[in-house]
Structure 1
């Protein structure tokens, strides 16, 4: 049953479209797609794109952002990296490079149109999608997202309680650059995180 998914993941990890047929400036380094999928995981983490440390290690969220995300979820590293528990599929599978200010560029435009529908179609068991950042929210929520990331995350309860499946929870990026955002929006830790943690416990237990 997992063979088509395994084949797709192999193709994704060998992808070079942003070098060989780029929609914009070619990727400034050799591609190293980072993705985790399985036919058993009930939780999908839909992030933005790998950063420099993840590009170097090939391990998703292998950085301080990952430490904060695991704290939000209240899971340890072995649980987080168990592919039968968590699928991890960013909107761009490769590190996109840095902008003029030293920040990460947006996810590559080629990636999601090429792979995302097929990947989601082969993981129908996913029950909860954590959409991290505006690019993941745009793809997974479409017109139901708000004008800004803050407004979208603030509207988390309505989005989470929709009849649509899988259920979706919007999150800010766990980057340490967002520490100021968290201080300005205490409702995130007070109201959203307890629900997120209960959902995680429930899906892991099942």
Structure 2
């Protein structure tokens, strides 16, 4: 595993296409109970090298009901985005993740796990790639159908502040999806420290 991680962190395959330069951001543990597959690091994460170290990460940890220590414990969570490096800024938000990463690294990473972890598919890029023909054609219908993807996958919207209106207009997400997500994590032994987790609300 250590050799694989060194190879990923040294990867420069997409350097000619990355506005801010190369900085792969991953977290891997061969005994992880959960894998988080999101989109790609944002600028803040690119600058710090810490995955989900931004407003989106705070919201994600709130959804998961875990504290920062649990989240950054590779025995609990591996973090493997669709694109490992910050892709740069587009006209309306960040550019899509570089498509080469998944083909280069995902299979190699998935092969290291000692047992099959729960895979959280965050956002449409991860969902389209991993669900294939089972993807419902849009993120809302896919997340609403989350039970269909047990026990392998659990689809979620991206926790970006840009998507808070989606949470407001889809109250079933907080009412139905989040409780089952937390129950699933609890069944895997993923625990948290309560003082570090804010109360969940669909109104923020």
The TM-score, its normalising length taken from structure 2, stands at 0.90
CA-CA distance at 1:201 after TM superposition:
1.5
**Is 1:182 matched up with 2:167?**
yes
Correspondence for 2:11? 15
CA-CA distance at 1:205 after TM superposition:
5.3
Give the counterpart of 1:41 among 28, 32, 35.
32
User: What secondary structure, in the 3-state scheme, does the structure 2 residue paired with 1:37 have?
Assistant: coil
Deviations 1:163-197 (A, max 9, x none): xxxx2100000001111100111111101110100
User: What secondary structure, in the 3-state scheme, does the structure 2 residue paired with 1:96 have?
Assistant: coil
Count of paired positions: 191
For structure 1, the 5+ residue unaligned runs are 21-25, 162-166
Correspondence for 1:68? 59
**Large movers: runs of 4+ above 4 Å:** none
Deviations 1:115-142 (A, max 9, x none): 1111111124232011000111112211
Contact residue 47 and residue 90 of structure 1 kept, 8 A: yes
CA-CA distance at 1:109 after TM superposition:
1.6
Cα-Cα RMSD: 1.4
**Is 1:29 matched up with 2:20?**
yes
Deviations 1:45-97 (A, max 9, x none): 11110001100100000001011000001000001000111001000000000
**Is 1:169 matched up with 2:154?**
yes
**Is 1:59 matched up with 2:50?**
yes
Give the counterpart of 2:110 among 102, 105, 120.
120
For structure 2, the 5+ residue unaligned runs are 192-204
Partner Cα separation in structure 2 for residue 94 and residue 191 of structure 1: 33
The TM-score, its normalising length taken from structure 1, stands at 0.89
Correspondence for 2:179? 194
Partner Cα separation in structure 1 for residue 136 and residue 2 of structure 2: 35
Correspondence for 1:164? none
Contact residue 44 and residue 126 of structure 1 kept, 8 A: no
**Structure 2 vs 1, CA of residues 34 and 133 (structure 1 numbering), >3 Å: closer, same or farther?**
same
